[in-house]
Amino acid sequence: MRSRHVAAGLALTVATFGLGVLTAAPSQAAACTTYADPKGDTGLNLAPAPATAPVPEPSLDILSFGLSSTADSLVAFISVDKLASRPTTGAGDEYGVTFKLGEATYEPYVHRNPEPLGTAIGAVFVRAGVRVNGTSVTTPVTAVYDTASNAVVLSVKFVDLDKVTKVATKGQTLTVVSARSRAQDVALLVTYDTATAPEKMTYVAGTSCTVPAAAPPAAAAPSASASAAPSASASAAPRPSASASAAPSGSAAPSGSAAPSASAAPSAAPTPKPSGAARKSNPGCGTAPSGSGASPAPAASSDGRTPTTLSLSANATEITACNTPLLSGTALDLQGRVVRGAEITISAKTTGATSYADVATVVTDEAGRYTLQVRPLVITTYLATAAGGAESPELGVDVHTRVVISSPKADSATGRTVTLRGHLVPGHAQAPVVLGYVTGGRYVVLDRGATDAQGFYVLSATVATGRRTFTVSTPGRKTNLPGQDSVILTVQ
């Protein structure tokens, strides 16, 4: 899906929508170069290998992309064949533009999830940010879904981007520019498109050039757009001493997969199915695998110096609930020397919270390094603070709902009427759940339902005989990304 470049001379309109109302910035006169991508080349990723034939998906089919700037912001845009007003998959979609600055790769991105799935007038929950070398960093990004121009426009203020790049981004040369779209974490199926600028293409941040204009919304069908707030504020909020829900535990593990395509979206809010016998409380993580992480180095005796700079990173920033990423960072003094034996407080702010809560206090080792394993069950932002007041950048961890299939057990035999039972972690009540399988390269919905008050579900369907992989999935919500589990059964 290699792109070719074409000259573009379109008027710039950077738009922010509120309930379909358009406000526009003045147009810029300059023109720039955008890059075109072939129409009809969206692919379907059947894990683990991509399909050989394209799968039509106009809302994800990239036709052109590029970079621009306003006086105070870097602007990235992606034009697609036909942008839908809401995600065309039950699990949501994602768009991003990637570029290199120095040795690091940056990607402003936005993804949106229908929430709740199956309501007659479903809201769309939009989240945006910047990834640095694949790791999400809490950065304010404004996203516009302009259905009139079939374009997704992402803008990041230079003052915020500079905090991520650690340099004055304006005036810097950006290279290796590409764009991508995908149906976000669809159960077993990921529809996607990618577009890459020629290797010689560069863009100087701050250069004035144009992006696709946003037409005024039509009265009958206003452009469906959103101003995407970051998952956490770029400025640190006050932190009470109460313990956060993201308590440390276990060890690190990669993220799980998530939910199925639009065919799985029920047309009406599902009704919980009776669960039969009375249930015990939701077992939560129980014996869910948590992986393994590095053991922290022994704490060192204090060298008496005060940290002025703290870093904070994680070995995984997109996980499934019950997995436990390892947070780590380094404490430096004003001269850039490591600080040994310094007390560092790790705090957490969950989605929807207005302040941080302390999770744990750790002590730096001989290399000035500190580590902590955490187990966030919902989307969480972390912050490290030193006794002298130094703070790390905020670090966001995205968390998929864990879907647990309790019965039948994997590789067991069952009659033609297949009944799957299980629960979600966290135990969302009234959460939509979908039973399905993939056959002939197509996802087939078998049953739909919703969890009970404890997060348990029961789904069933009558199917043909044979060995089949069944999936149970749930869509994203404000607190969690989509989740999915699967089991192989022999139907007799």
- How does pLDDT run across 219-273, given as a tens digit for each residue? 333 333 333 333 333 334 444 443 333 333 333 333 333 333 333 333 333 444 5
Q: Residue 420 corresponds to which tokens in the numbers above? A: 């799957």
- The full length of the chain comes to 492
Q: Residue 374 corresponds to which tokens in the numbers above? A: 């955490």
Q: Are residues 413 and 396 in the same domain?
A: no
Helix or strand (DSSP H, E) at 162: helix 158-165
Q: Are residues 339 and 433 in the same domain?
A: no
Q: Are residues 383 and 334 in the same domain?
A: yes
Predicted TM-score (pTM) above 0.85? no
Q: Are residues 189 and 270 in the same domain?
A: no
Written as one string, the DSSP assignment of 30-89 is --EEEEE--TT--EEEETTEE-SS----TTT-EEEEEEEE-SSEEEEEEEESS--SS-SS
What's the pLDDT at 447? Answer: 93
CATH code for the domain in which residue 247 is found: 2.60.40.10
Convert the pLDDT of each residue in 134-188 to its tens digit. 888 888 898 888 888 888 999 999 999 999 888 999 888 888 888 888 875 444 4
Q: Are residues 132 and 159 in the same domain?
A: yes
Q: Are residues 339 and 190 in the same domain?
A: no
What's the pLDDT at 420? Answer: 94
d(CA 253, CA 400): 13
d(CA 222, CA 21): 8
Residue-range definition of the domain harbouring residue 185: 4-204
What's the pLDDT at 371? Answer: 94
pLDDT < 70: residue spans in the chain: 1-34, 44-55, 89-91, 114-124, 184-190, 199-200, 208-280, 286-301, 440-442
